[in-house]
Amino acid sequence: MRFGYQCEECEEAVWLAAPRPELQWLRSRRHIVREVQRHLSAGLDGWMDEGLVFLDRHDGHSVVVVQRGSVAH
Residue 31: per-residue pLDDT: 92
Q: Report how far residue 71's alpha carbon sits from residue 66's, in angstroms, rounded to the nearest whole number.
A: 15
pLDDT band of residue 41 (cuts 50, 70, 90) is confident
CA distance 9 to 21: 23
pLDDT at 39: 84
Judge whether residue 32 has pLDDT over 60.
yes
For residue 41, what is the DSSP state? S
Nearest to 15 by CA among 73, 71, 69: 69
In angstroms, the CA 28 to CA 30 distance is 6
* Helices within 1-73 (DSSP H only): 20-28, 30-39, 46-57
Mean pLDDT across 19-30 = 96
